[in-house]
Chains A and B, each alone.
Chain A
Amino acid sequence: MHKNSYVFIFASVVTITCSILLASAASLLRDRQQENIALDKQKNILSSAGLIKSSEEEVTRQEILSLYDANISSQVVDTTGMVMENKKVENIDPKKDRHLLPVYLYQKDGSVKSYIIPISGKGLWSTIYGYLALEPDLNTVRGITFYQHGETPGLGGEIVKDWFTSNFVGKRIISPEGKLVSITVIKGKVAGRIPDSESYHYVDGISGSTLTGNGLTNFLKKDLERYEPYFETLRNKEME
């Protein structure tokens, strides 16, 4: 039998070796991983605006970069709705600059085809990140994607699938009276539960993941509220 001191020394050596290995692997591969994450975000922005059919589709690196450069521009607005000309989306830190909000614009032939905003918040187990694209009327949803989450695969994890995200397309965030109502993920199916006149504010939930759906409903509303002043000024401009 080994002495206790040997056990301690052995355990320490194993632990230190393992941590050195992991730390060096993590720092060696970090650049490439960050690049993948950035590319994945661009892909999701494109996919929410409908420029790529589905976020699950295989698209090459080059295609994403060229599509993104040709169509998407970005700007920073603040929570009162002012456009901050001197700020860049890349430079704002969402933790520090809480009053600054990034907006991505899909422009074609000189006019804006879609406004895309990042959305994020708590699901059941994790923070969910995604993008919401609105039509130029700033009311109708053009598309939604989720690109990072830690929800249960097969249950809450289904939010990334096309069958779920496609439910959002064509839904509206503003009531006929002009109030922001956002979109609610309900338990079960919309058909039969919600009167037809209101059904465009609701989408079908995923059975077995009501809490992920509730989380989504909450952070969607919260994020839309932050952007509402900016959207309102745009809507008013449209009217004039």
Chain B
Amino acid sequence: MPDIEVAETTTQVAQPKEKLFSKKNKRTLSDPLSDNNPITLQVLGICSALAVTVQFNTALVMSLAVIAVLALSNVTISLMRNMIPSKIRIIVELAVVATLVVLVDQVLKAYLYDISKRLSVFVGLIITNCIILGRAEAFALQNKPWPSLLDGLGNGMGYAAILLIVATGREILGSGSFFGIQLVPDSFYAAGYENMGLMVLSPGAFILLGLIVWGQRMISKKFEDN
């Protein structure tokens, strides 16, 4: 009991009437986009990043689904943060996340049936995406709804950014198209150009992802020293 009280009061003191877009809140939103990207720095959510990035439009829908689930789950959990008994907090978080994911899945089935078929199980697997439970545990449980929303949006967009970069690379190199529109002209194929089969398969995503991580750490100069 005393521990919680202390934690409560300290957070109260730490945030005396903050502005909606204070410096701290802006960082909450922008950090996960680059410096603390969930995929490239925290290396979370790799499974779906490999699976749905063969084409740009599936990656886009998947990204939107993850952003929606992440933002809503963060807000919901943050609203309940003082009520959730710590003994069952993980299962409560999972229940919230699972409910949101099933809702998203149902909406996709009703309005974007073709894409939902192509995403197959991966929408359902958002439940097990470490980013979502990770943000609920690490951020939403300790913070107010507004910063939690920003954190959810930021992390969702950080995830989306990487997904879309990988998908762009894979679709152009692997299928010679972008957003379903053919980019490589027929004359190239006639001249002997061939799509890179590797890019359609998961190893292609791994290689691209590796290159992105390398590039980013070169720029940000943030890496672990031994």
Query: Footprint of B on A, CB under 8 Å?
Result: 1-2, 6-7, 10-11, 14-15, 18, 21-22, 25-26, 29, 32-33, 36-37, 39-40, 58, 150, 153-154, 157
The verdict on A7 contacting B110 (CB below 8 Å), with A18-B99, A157-B120 known, is no
Contact B102 A22, beta carbon cutoff 8 Å: yes
Q: Out of B85, B114, B117, which one reaches A58, CB within 8 Å?
A: B114
Residues of B within 8 A of A14 (CB): 92, 95-96
Q: Is B84 an interface residue (CB 8 A)?
A: yes
Question: B72-105 vs A: 1/0 string, CB under 8 Å?
Answer: 0000000000011111100110011011001100
Contact B95 A10, beta carbon cutoff 8 Å: no
CB distance from A29 to the nearest CB of B (A): 4
Residues of A within 8 A of B98 (CB): 18
Q: Is B43 an interface residue (CB 8 A)?
A: no
Q: Out of B85, B107, B111, B121, which one reaches A7, CB within 8 Å?
A: B85
Q: Is B180 an interface residue (CB 8 A)?
A: yes
**Chain B residue with minimal CB distance to A34?**
B110
Interface of B is mostly: helix
With A and B bound together, what is the CA distance between A26 and B87 in angstroms?
A: 31
Contact A7 B95, beta carbon cutoff 8 Å: no
Q: Is B7 an interface residue (CB 8 A)?
A: no
With A and B bound together, what is the CA distance between A211 and B144 in angstroms?
A: 51
Contact B111 A32, beta carbon cutoff 8 Å: yes
Contact A32 B85, beta carbon cutoff 8 Å: no
Contact B51 A153, beta carbon cutoff 8 Å: yes
The verdict on A11 contacting B103 (CB below 8 Å), with A18-B95, A153-B120, A153-B121 known, is no
With A and B bound together, what is the CA distance between A36 and B107 in angstroms?
A: 12
Residues of B within 8 A of A11 (CB): 88, 91-92
CB distance from B104 to the nearest CB of A (A): 10
Q: Is B106 an interface residue (CB 8 A)?
A: yes
With A and B bound together, what is the CA distance between A148 and B121 in angstroms?
A: 12
Contact B85 A36, beta carbon cutoff 8 Å: no
Residues of B within 8 A of A33 (CB): 106, 109-110, 113
Contact A10 B85, beta carbon cutoff 8 Å: yes
Most-contacted residue by chain A among B106, B107, B121 (CB, 10 A) = B106
**Chain B residue with minimal CB distance to A32?**
B110
With A and B bound together, what is the CA distance between A29 and B106 in angstroms?
A: 7
With A and B bound together, what is the CA distance between A7 and B83 in angstroms?
A: 10
Would you list 19 pairs from A and B whose C-beta atoms are within 8 A, ordered by A residue? A1-B86, A2-B85, A6-B85, A7-B87, A10-B84, A10-B85, A14-B92, A18-B95, A21-B103, A22-B103, A29-B107, A32-B111, A33-B106, A33-B109, A33-B110, A58-B114, A153-B51, A153-B121, A154-B202
> Number of residues in B with C-beta < 8 Å to the partner?
29
Q: Is B14 an interface residue (CB 8 A)?
A: no
Contact B99 A21, beta carbon cutoff 8 Å: yes
CB distance from A232 to the nearest CB of B (A): 36
CB neighbors of A among B116-149 (8 A)? 117, 120-122
With A and B bound together, what is the CA distance between A153 and B86 in angstroms?
A: 37
With A and B bound together, what is the CA distance between A26 and B95 in angstroms?
A: 17
Residues of B within 8 A of A39 (CB): 113
CB distance from B190 to the nearest CB of A (A): 21
Residues of B within 8 A of A25 (CB): 102-103, 106-107
With A and B bound together, what is the CA distance between A109 and B180 in angstroms?
A: 35
With A and B bound together, what is the CA distance between A6 and B84 in angstroms?
A: 10
With A and B bound together, what is the CA distance between A15 and B103 in angstroms?
A: 15
With A and B bound together, what is the CA distance between A58 and B179 in angstroms?
A: 13
Residues of A within 8 A of B180 (CB): 58
Contact B88 A10, beta carbon cutoff 8 Å: yes
With A and B bound together, what is the CA distance between A55 and B7 in angstroms?
A: 57
With A and B bound together, what is the CA distance between A11 and B83 in angstroms?
A: 11
Contact A1 B88, beta carbon cutoff 8 Å: no
Besides A25-B106, A29-B106, A58-B180, 12 more A-B contacts (Cβ < 8 Å) are A2-B85, A2-B87, A7-B87, A11-B88, A11-B91, A15-B95, A29-B107, A29-B109, A29-B110, A33-B109, A58-B114, A150-B121
